[in-house]
Amino acid sequence: MIDKKENSNTALATIAGIITTLIGLLVLIGWQFDIAILKKIAFGAVTMKSNTAVCFFLAGLALIILQSSKRFTNTLVRFLALVIMLVGIISLFQNIFGLDFGLDEILFSEPDVAPGILHSNFMAPNTALNFLMIGIAFFLLTFKRFQRSFLVVIGIVFPLSISILWLIGYLTKFVEITVFFTYVEMSIYAAGTFIILCLGMVLTAYKQKQSSVTVEQKLLIGLTLIASVVIFITQLSFSGIHSLLNASELVEHTQQVKQQLTSILLKVVDVETSARGFVIIGEDSYAERMKKSSVELPIELKNLRMQISDNPNQLEALTLLEYLVNKRIGLSWRLYQTRRSQGLEKAILFFSNNEGKIITDSIRVIVAQMMAEESRLMQTRNSNEKDHSSKTKIIIYFSQAIQMLLLVLIFVFVKRDVANRKKTEEEIRNLNAHLEKKIEERTAQLVQINENLNKEIEERHRAQLETQKAKEEAERANVAKSEFLSRMSHELRTPMNSILGFAQLMEMGELVPAHKKGVKQILKNGMHLLDLINEVLDIARIESGRMTISTEPVEIYSIIKETLDIVRHLAEENQIVLESDSSMTKRLFAKADHQRLKQVLLNLITNAVKYNIKGGSVKIESRVQNIELKLEQPASFIRISIIDTGQGIAQEEIEKLFTPFVRIGTERVETEGTGLGLTISKKLIEAMGGKIGVESELGKGSTFWIELPQTESQRDCYDRINELTRPEPEIAQGKGTILYIEDNLSNLQLVDQILETHRPEIKLITNMYGRNAVPFAIDYKPDLIMLDLDLPDIHGSDVLKLLQAEPKTKAIPVVILSADAMTRQIKQLKEAGAKDYLIKPIDVVQFLKIVDERIRKSSLE
């Protein structure tokens, strides 16, 4: 179930990474070929920046790569994460400090490509902050101990919250949500891509390779989400209040403009009335009033221009107003000068042309128009203020609702957690009480069981001692028996030599017929006794392990032909027909000892002839067959069958066939025998790794068969080795030295021939005694030591200990070459320091492979 969930999370996270990568790639294609719709990933108001697209492309690749468990995955993701973090940090510095490091112009440097942005070539600061957090999260996700840490949760949840915030702002048309202070508007598709990317990272962080999410981890995620919501609510409230303040400031600004227009109009009228008053009355107080208003009017007009600088229509009207006001001031001052210098009549005449009245009326019209425009703006801004006020109320109510909901959720969670904890504690107490009771009962049972086990252990120990003692006694008896048989066989040969020798001399002399018949009987029985002694000696050698078996590829056709040639004379004497279909087995070889296999075949075929009926036949068949071995691949064996037409053997007597000194069917046949031939044959075949068996039915004859492992010929082996063991160039050019400790000359010659043929650059040093191994190794400093176990002075395991104990030879690799295939011994010698263990007869390909490997390692060291 866990694997299914893990696979599902991996698949979804991979899809999220692919979508993110494709979005970044499409935007980059749009920038490359100047395709506006691709720059926006559809129809949107804000263009996605090229550096934003690059970061999305890298983040998507990191998410895809993170789903793999290959060796280089973490290194590559860390590199991509560092690049994303670096871009985010540089972009933040550019926005915060107004610096331009040229990062955004590396790919594309068009000055004005993204509408609605603060800096045309800068990544939006909120986008840069998101990439910084995501880069940190990706970097930490490559470390197992940080995959569910607080920093990873923050690095994923924070960008996810910001992106959801901006997406809500776009969907609800709440501009206050998407613009914070001087923050740039994030592309709606960038916000959506961030959400997809963050969800993929969540799935990656919470794969089910680890245990399920703990309460602490749930609490961490919950607190992070709550903190994000609180930040969101705070910003939302602040943005609403900020928008309301802006709207209020605009309303107040409109009122100030209207007041300024009214003040300007009053001062214009004051200039006009002051000039008239001076003309009529002539007092300087009117001139002072006119002067004061004339000075203040340009200042107020300048202030008014600053206040309406964002309204082109009002600026145009203001320009005309400034012209008329200056003209009105100039006209009033000319009237003042005329009154002062030319008198009242000239001044009244100047005043009577109504030019001043026309200018003042024009000023009133312009002021009225500007006042009307401001009234219109006032109405619009009042409406906006009401809208912002309503939105602010909604935001405040929404914030309060969210806060209440969070409080309720926290209360419910805490209450449920407390209840669960109480319930768990109660269950634990009950379980502890139950366990204590169970422990007491179990302790009593264990005490009784322990007592019984102690008794049983003592009895088993006694039984083991008795078994070991019996085994040692049996082994001693077996050794004593083998030694006795071997010694007696040798001792009996001396008198037998005299008996047979004198009997032969007597036979060669002149004897009466009766005496000659007696001498023949002595020779016949003496030769029979000598065969018995030889076979007893063979059994003793086999059981004591002193008989040497040297396996090699033996051609089946040739050895059968040799054996039949030996037995053919005996078959002709007994009128037995010998048949063989072994011609089909030409070029088939078995792994065997040539002399011992010939001995076994000779024994079986001779028995088939001796125990056959007159005029009968003996047929030798051979074929290849596959045998299923336990826990191994099928092996090829060659079966040789000797089929006779004799009387056959009863089923109850077949089991006695391979028992020493037991002869079957003597009551039916007068042929003499020792009863040891089949026993020796069985032991020899098993020593060669084969099997022997019999199938028989009374009255229909018997079939004796042997099975031996199939192998390849010496020629095929040579060709294969030449093909498979050509050394690599660097091996062929290298040199090395091998020290071979072996007392068997044929084995020494074999290894020497192998190295001389296939690795002539390797020098072979040989020694037959184990005690010389350490001095030879110190003197010649070989790259490899090959060690036989059965040495004339000490055992090979003791030689290995001496080599390991000597600091100068401890580092030289040792390879064991032995005919002993016991698993326990192989394990013990490898634990003692042997690097490899080759079983005789050696596989030449494997031998050369190990030599090359060890020589190469030694040369590198």
When comparing pLDDT for 493 and 853, which is higher? Answer: 853
For the stretch 837-851, pLDDT in tens is: 987 767 777 888 888
Q: Is the pLDDT of residue 729 over 50?
A: no
Q: Is the pLDDT of residue 798 over 50?
A: yes
pLDDT for position 170? 67
pLDDT for position 503? 66
Q: Is the pLDDT of residue 385 over 60?
A: yes
Q: Is the pLDDT of residue 738 over 90?
A: yes
Strands 784-787, 736-741: pairing kind: parallel
CA distance 164 to 37: 23
pLDDT for position 93? 79
pLDDT for position 848? 87
Q: Is the pLDDT of residue 181 over 50?
A: no
Q: Is the pLDDT of residue 302 over 70?
A: yes
pLDDT for position 433? 83
Q: Is the pLDDT of residue 685 over 50?
A: yes
| Res. 554 pLDDT band, cuts 50 70 90 | confident
Least confident of 189-193, 455-459, 600-604, 669-673: 669-673
| Res. 613 pLDDT band, cuts 50 70 90 | confident
CA distance 81 to 79: 5
Mean pLDDT for 795-816 is 91
Structure tokens at 805: 């104990």
Q: Is the pLDDT of residue 777 over 60?
A: yes
Q: Is the pLDDT of residue 109 over 50?
A: no
Task: Output the DSSP codes for 582-612.
Answer: GGGGTT-EEEE-HHHHHHHHHHHHHHHHHTS
Q: Is the pLDDT of residue 116 over 70?
A: no
pLDDT for position 105? 57
Mean pLDDT for 602-608 is 87
Structure tokens at 377: 């703006």
| Res. 45 pLDDT band, cuts 50 70 90 | low
Mean confidence (pLDDT) of the chain: 76
Nearest residue to 154 (alpha-carbon basis) of 146, 165, 145:
146
Burial of 71 (0-12, 13-18, 19+ CB in 10 A): exposed
Nearest residue to 818 (alpha-carbon basis) of 801, 831, 800:
800
Least confident of 19-28, 531-540, 596-605, 705-714: 531-540
Is residue 611 within 8 Å of 706, Cβ to Cβ? no
**DSSP letter at 532?**
H
| Res. 359 pLDDT band, cuts 50 70 90 | confident
Q: How many CB atoms lie within 10 A of CB 179?
A: 20
Q: Is the pLDDT of residue 638 over 60?
A: yes
Mean pLDDT for 243-256 is 75
When comparing pLDDT for 197 and 237, which is higher? Answer: 197
**C-alpha R_g of the chain:** 56
Mean pLDDT for 443-453 is 81
Nearest residue to 37 (alpha-carbon basis) of 25, 21, 48:
48
When comparing pLDDT for 116 and 102, which is higher? Answer: 102
Q: How many CB atoms lie within 10 A of CB 159?
A: 26
Contacts (Cβ under 8 Å, ≥6 apart) of 2: 208
Mean pLDDT for 145-165 is 79
CA distance 75 to 343: 101
When comparing pLDDT for 59 and 124, which is higher? Answer: 59
Least confident of 170-174, 490-494, 695-699: 490-494
pLDDT for position 785? 94
pLDDT for position 489? 57
Percent of the chain whose predicted confidence (pLDDT) is above 90: 7
Q: Is the pLDDT of residue 179 over 50?
A: no
CA distance 745 to 545: 19
Which helix (H) or strand (E) element contains residue 246?
helix 215-281
Mean pLDDT for 270-277 is 80
Nearest residue to 772 (alpha-carbon basis) of 810, 802, 804:
802
pLDDT for position 774? 92
pLDDT for position 746? 72
Q: Is the pLDDT of residue 546 over 70?
A: no
pLDDT for position 313? 81
| Res. 219 pLDDT band, cuts 50 70 90 | low
Q: According to the per-residue pLDDT averaged within each range, which of 123-127, 147-151, 499-503 is highest?
A: 123-127
pLDDT for position 155? 83
Mean pLDDT for 55-74 is 85
Strands 814-818, 836-839: pairing kind: parallel
| Res. 103 pLDDT band, cuts 50 70 90 | low
For the stretch 811-839, pLDDT in tens is: 899 999 886 656 777 888 999 999 999 87
Q: Is the pLDDT of residue 319 over 50?
A: yes
Mean pLDDT for 744-765 is 85
pLDDT for position 568? 87
pLDDT for position 391? 67
Chain centroid, CA 188 distance in Å = 38
CA distance 127 to 158: 12
CA distance 398 to 174: 13
pLDDT for position 39? 73
Q: According to the per-residue pLDDT averaged within each range, which of 159-173, 290-304, 501-515 is highest?
A: 290-304
pLDDT for position 266? 87
Task: Output the DSSP codes for 433-449.
Answer: HHHHHHHHHHHHHHHHH
pLDDT for position 799? 92
Q: Is the pLDDT of residue 803 over 50?
A: yes
pLDDT for position 739? 93
